[in-house]
């Protein structure tokens, strides 16, 4: 994988259902090549469509980007998410309207996988959020913090207000890296990468230990961030470090409230 890969929605290509997926739904691949350590698919469900996920050998995270679906007997609106652990399965369906789902996985199972065998459903209203993380003016929410005893997956969201192109010295202060491969997916607004603005439906695949930075565009920026394991410290170009798990624990007073399938 290139150190930073940018894939826009119109660059995602139609594919047949990947192994472990079945049912009626249109599917496009953002990242699924041999060199990609993390995979990302877009699933388009129309009224009456049904996407079955699992059982698979690897844990799968699904995010409801647009629309509303039903999974495990629960209604999940836009901004909801769920995990289908290895060895388990769930069906996602649409009654009316149209839904866009994103599914994230690692390319291969971890060397020491957790037990698996469960489905965790997280309605949007059960996601702990703050409009002002650390008095920064940046909003965010935690979906999965890699602490489930049967699964190790991370997904958080961030929300930035509108921004103009910053001067070079300000951009340099935000240069940082993570010790894990990650995918950033723009759900709304625009992300500014240098002089380029990328809108909703853009995915950034960033290799571990790659220094990068971004700023919000003139319409603001909302994104989700996926990693397949527990994050280590964030490292900044100036040598500073920050505990990412500690940051979220300090700034959110609650943990996500997961639901199990019913019926």
Tell me if domain 11-126 and domain 129-251 are identical in fold.
yes
State the fold for domain 11-126.
Answer: Jelly Rolls (2.60.120)
* Separation CA 263–CA 260 (nearest Å): 10
The pLDDT score that the predictor gives to residue 167 is 72
The pLDDT score that the predictor gives to residue 170 is 65
Q: What is the pLDDT along the chain (263 residues), one digit of tens a residue?
A: 579 999 999 999 999 999 999 999 999 999 999 999 999 999 999 999 999 999 999 999 999 999 999 999 999 999 999 999 999 999 999 988 999 999 999 999 999 999 999 999 999 999 999 999 999 999 999 999 999 999 999 999 999 999 887 776 666 778 999 999 999 999 999 999 988 999 999 999 999 999 999 999 999 999 999 999 999 999 999 999 999 999 999 999 999 999 999 97
Sequence spans of domains, the chain: 11-126, 129-251
What single-letter DSSP state applies at residue 86?
T
* Separation CA 257–CA 55 (nearest Å): 24
The pLDDT score that the predictor gives to residue 171 is 67
Is there a contact between 217 and 155 (Cβ–Cβ < 8 Å)? Answer: no
> Who's near 30: CB < 8 A, 6+ residues apart?
7, 11, 12, 40, 41, 42, 203
The pLDDT score that the predictor gives to residue 95 is 87
pTM score:
0.97
Domain at 129-251: CATH architecture: Sandwich (2.60)
């Amino acid at each position: 994988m290139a150190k930073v890969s940018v894939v826009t929605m119109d660059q995602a290509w139609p594919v047949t259902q990947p192994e472990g997926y079945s049912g009626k739904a249109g599917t496009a691949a953002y990242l699924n090549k041999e060199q990609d350590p993390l995979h990302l698919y877009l699933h388009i469900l129309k009224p009456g469509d049904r996407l079955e996920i699992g059982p698979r050998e690897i844990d799968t995270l699904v995010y409801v980007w647009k629309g509303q679906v039903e999974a495990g007997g629960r209604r999940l609106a836009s901004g909801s998410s769920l995990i289908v652990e290895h060895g388990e399965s769930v069906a996602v369906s649409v009654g009316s309207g149209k839904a866009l789902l994103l599914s994230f996985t690692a390319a291969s199972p971890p060397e020491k996988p957790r037990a698996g065998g469960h489905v965790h459903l997280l309605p949007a209203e059960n996601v702990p959020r703050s409009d002002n993380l650390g008095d920064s003016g940046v909003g965010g929410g935690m979906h999965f913090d890699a602490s489930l005893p049967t699964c190790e997956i991370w997904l958080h969201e961030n929300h930035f207000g509108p921004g103009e192109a910053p001067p070079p010295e300000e951009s340099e202060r935000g240069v940082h890296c993570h010790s894990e491969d990650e995918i950033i997916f723009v759900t709304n607004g625009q992300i500014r990468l240098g002089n380029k603005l990328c809108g909703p439906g853009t995915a950034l695949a960033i290799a571990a230990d790659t220094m990068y930075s971004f700023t919000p565009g003139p319409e603001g920026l909302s994104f989700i961030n996926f990693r397949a394991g527990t994050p280590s410290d964030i490292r900044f170009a100036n040598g500073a470090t920050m505990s990412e798990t500690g940051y979220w624990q300090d700034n959110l007073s609650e943990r996500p409230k997961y639901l199990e399938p019913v019926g």
